Structure 1
Amino acid sequence: MAQVLSAADNDVILVEQDDGRVAELATLPRVRLVAGDACDPALLEHAGALTCDLVISATGRDEDNLVISLIAKRQFGVGRVAARINDAENAWLFDQRWGVDVAVPSATPLISLIEEATGATDTVALLRLSKAGVEVIETAITEQSRAAGRALGEIPLPAGTVVATVVRDGRPTVPGPEVRLLPGDELLLVSHEATEQEIHAAFQ
């Protein structure tokens, strides 16, 4: 979930209390990690609960998910709170009384929790592509980029790679080979073979 949400340009903060998991999660790019118990209001505040838009409580314990949801909603006024239900018999508890806006049973794929929590089908599409072996890779054009000022059709792309969109001044466009890349452009490329390093080498 963190990888998909961060790939969609969200600021993501993960709270984890298991030391082993903390070490694993530390390798995630573009994700801030806070070690500790999310049931602790002070730790949630330290993690940014006062200013966040969304809290997803997805531990393996329903009692923890309910406590985290209640603290997030009642103490910090988080706009949207989603929680995972591990035991179907507890489903009746996961409602507004406990601060839960979106409740998703554990049997439901986590992909649905993302979709329900954010309403963002585009992030879900990113995850589906990744599971299918297709990577969505982002690169930005700067003044120093070798691609700056060049037409897209002049740039040799790695095999199995296409440019899906060029975002310029906040507006995405479907690019043709004649589109000349400018500093500040952001490109999203879809590839089933190329690595991020290969994409970077082509444009930077």
Structure 2
Amino acid sequence: MNVLIAGAGRLGTRVAQVLSAAGNHVTIVDADEDRVEALRGQCDAHLLVGDAGEAAVQERAGVARADLVVVATGRDEDNLVISLLAKRRFAAPRVVARVNDDENAWLFDHRWGVDIAVPAATPLVSLIEEATGTADTVALLRLSTAGVGIIETAITTRSKAAGRTLGDIALPEGTLVATVVRGGNPTAPSPSMRLEPGDELLLVSHSADEHEIHAAFQ
């Protein structure tokens, strides 16, 4: 699957890490050159500096070949313009857009090229903004076209998985660990990898929800 992500913040980076680890071709676009440079080595994605609200930038990023466009900047007006351009100019088949301000949620629909709106009130954005540091397992995103969900769980000193290897943990059927983020760096997981407090696991699953993942690790 070809994925174009507009916005190299925490949300865009997390989605990129999971989808690229699962073998998808991912491109991230952000107007902030320093932010883009900081991502080098953090995920196997093509990085591009530019304003995704410009047709030339989207074209250069390969939006015409994208199966999924994730619009995740911190400004609703930018997200709407990027979504509309991707859908109307380049006929993107699926556009997922982040809503930063609840008062703007009514705008995020097919009229602006948005297929799936991610409201600020959902656990996803709460996690991305790090507004709730208490949740250890959160569903990040559901990709309807791919039929999979992306779930994050954090290992703490209280987690039953702390000190155990990945091979010792019984995962729900149809679930795999896409990457383990340790010290801010994504690591390719192996059955012999021993989990440590502070590790963040990104999982891809066809059927499991965050409660099942929590039960496996916490």
TM-score band by shorter chain is: 0.5 to 0.7
What is the correspondence of 1:23-38 to structure 2 with a 5 Å cutoff?
23-38=37-52
Deviation string for 1:151-170 (max 9, x for gaps)? xxxxxxxx724289xxxxxx
Which residues in structure 2 correspond to 1:1-20 (within 5 Å)?
1-20=15-34
Q: Which of 66, 89, 105 is 1:52 aligned to?
A: 66
Q: What is the 5 A alignment of 1:104-115?
A: 104-108=118-122, 109-110=124-125, 112=139, 114-115=141-142
How many residue pairs get aligned? The number is: 146
TM-score, scaled to structure 1:
0.62
The answer on whether the counterparts of 1:104 and 1:113 sit within 8 Å (CA) in structure 2 is no
Cα pair 1:50 1:76 within 8 Å, conserved? yes
Residue 99 of structure 2: aligned partner: 85
Within a 5 Å distance, the mapping from 1:9-158 to structure 2 comes to 9-108=23-122, 109-110=124-125, 112=139, 114-116=141-143, 119-121=147-149, 124-125=150-151, 127-128=152-153, 131-132=154-155
Query: Percent of aligned positions with the same letter in both sequences?
Result: 47
> What SS does structure 2 have at the residue aligned with 1:103?
strand
- Shift in CA distance, 91/193, structure 1 to aligned 2, threshold 3 Å: closer
* Unmatched tracts of structure 2, length 5 or more: 1-14, 126-137, 175-188, 197-218
Return the TM-score normalized by structure 2. Answer: 0.58
Task: Structure 1: state its 5+ residue gaps.
Answer: 135-158, 165-171, 173-186, 195-204
Distance 1:97 1:113 in 2: 25
- Deviation (angstroms), 1:36: 0.6
The alpha-carbon distance between structure 1 residues 132 and 190, as it changes in their structure 2 partners (threshold 3 A), is farther
User: Higher relative contact order at CA 8 Å, sep ≥6: structure 1 or structure 2?
Assistant: 2
1:10-38 superposed Cα distances (whole Å, 9 cap, x missing partner):
11100011122112112223111010100
* C-alpha separation in 2, matches of 1:96 and 1:104: 14
Question: Which protein has the bigger helix share?
Answer: 1
Q: Aligned pair 1:189/2:203, yes or no?
A: no
Alignment RMSD, CA only?
2.9
Q: Distance in 2 between matches of 1:189 and 1:44?
A: 39
Q: Which of these two proteins has the greater Rg computed from alpha carbons?
A: 1
